Structure formats: structure tokens, C-alpha cells
Structure 1
Amino acid sequence: MDGQGNGKEVKLLGTWFSPYVQRVVWVLKLKGIDYEWVEQGFRDPKNRSQLLLKYNPVMKTVPVLVHHGRPVLESLIILEYIDETWKNNPILPSDPYERAMARFWENLIDQKITKILSKLLSSMDKKQMEEEMKQVSNTIEILDRELKAKGNKFFGGETINRDC
């Protein structure tokens, strides 16, 4: 087995509007992994699909990556699983310090940008939305300054992982 998934081996349960799901989609595409998309298209927490309840009965959330019938849950964990399972086009650097720094920025993005953008999808008054967008903008400016200071396209260098 070469690790390359096909529609029968890899499934992604998700919703098109979720930023957590979209980052998994981006990594699957970056790595060239074929997968079957299983749209969960719900907004009503009481109306979950049987497939989602089967693979994620505790959290009942997306994304869920199903590889050889085994579910992997939570987007950041899924990204690490994908990177460790499919070695081509590594996302994280092999150097432990550089990998820790990449995880720091990943966590910052998750805490300061992705969660705020998710909140924006829910109903919010205009003032609250403006305050949240200021936080997103400030965090993006920090990320931009960090990349420019290092002269890199990515945190690991000119490619996603400089070891490539």
C-alpha cells in the first residue's frame, strides 16, 4: 500500500462553509490525496446524519476524516494525521524547533482567526462584528509581519516544508 487514498479509503465528512473543514480540504489537495466528500449540510444540531453520529458520537461535529473505516476527529489533529500518513509534500518541518514554531502559529490562527470567523457565521450585532473583525485584522497583521521579517513565503521557508 503506497498510502495514496482513493474514494473508498479516504472520506471527509464536512460542510462547505466550515473553516475547520476547509483547512483539511486544502491539505488533502496540497498532498494530492483523493477522497470522497460527504456533505453534512446542517445547521440544526439536533439533525445530524447517521454517518456523522457513527464516526463522531461524542462531539457530533465536523470535520471527520475516515481512513480505511477509522475516524480521525478535530481539524488540527486531522492535519497532523494526514502529514504523518502521507509523507509526500510534508507540511511541518522535520526540525523539532521549527515544528514547534509552526504549531505555535497554527494555534494562534486557530484561536484568533478561525474561531472569530466561525462566530461571524452566527448571528452577531454590527458593533460586535466590527470588534471581532478588528481582532482578525490585527492577528493577520502580526502573521504578515512575521513572514516579512523572515523573508519567507511560509513559516518553514519558500515551500510548505523546507525539507522538501
Structure 2
Amino acid sequence: MLDPVMIAASGDPLLRDDAVATLRELLLPRAMLLTPNLPEAARLLDEPQAVTRADMERQAHALRALGAGAVLVKGGHGTEADSADVLVTAAGTEWFTAPRHATQNTHGTGCTLSSAIAAGLAKGLALPQAVAEAKVWLTAAIVAADGLAIGGGHGPVHHFHALWPAADD
């Protein structure tokens, strides 16, 4: 599994161009699952960021063609009412959507989703089921995060929402 953390929430690059090339050429072909967000998919492909679902799907296919076993392009940076992610595998294409929740508590959502997918795979779930369950869990964690009072600015999602409620739950 490879979650290419390449671009900060501010839009600033976190990897030099030569490191992106190494990631693309050496790591991506070894990944069972690649999970870029919209800006990361665009940077890996040296293209503009996807705006439509058709763009997302095309970029997911293009990334898979570079050697990843499967690609999940995460649409959290999109602007639609729903947050849509697209999974492209050898078996086909599947979309996972959830209502977008207006919050500042989105720090680490991509890494969190990828980790939740890995946990589902470790439990023996098939990839599409692991993605579906991780998306449901992360959506609940984002919503529950509004009840947390941690730090300032972009706070984290409520990773433990199923175990202990936030202050206003």
C-alpha cells in the first residue's frame, strides 16, 4: 500500500521533483494499492488536478497503467456536495461516496483512510469492501471531530469516535 504524501494542505510541495520521479518509477509499480488525493494524482501524472469524476477516473486508470495493482483516487479536495473516491482495479471501476461535511477538522484524512483500508485488508476483507468500510468509518470520524477541542487551525478527525464520544456527542 502506498499513500503518496506529496503536497501539504497549503498546496506547498513536500517532495522535490527528483523524489516524485523516484516515487513514480520505483515505488508505485511495487504498490498493491496507490491512494493519492486529487493534487497528488495530478503531480504524479504531471497534469492539472482532476475537476470532474471523469477526470478522476481517467487519472486513476493512468496511474494504474504505471504499475500499481490498484488505484484509489481520493476526492476529498473536490468541490461536489459528496466526497467521491474512485477505485480502479484489474476487475473494474467502483465509486465510493459520502456526504461532504463542512469542518476544519480534516488534518490527516488521507493517511487515516489509507490506514483504515490497510486494517480492513489485514482482517481479510476484499479490497472493495475494505475501501467501503474505511470510507464509512472515516466519514463518521470527520463528523465526530467537530466535538473535539484539540489545538487550533485544521484539527484531526476523531479517530476514536466509535470508542468514546466527543464532548458534544
Superposed pair shares fold, TM > 0.5: no
**Interval containing the TM-score (normalised by the shorter chain):** under 0.3
Q: Output the TM-score relative to the length of structure 2.
A: 0.26
Q: Output the TM-score relative to the length of structure 1.
A: 0.27
* Structure of higher CA gyration radius: 1
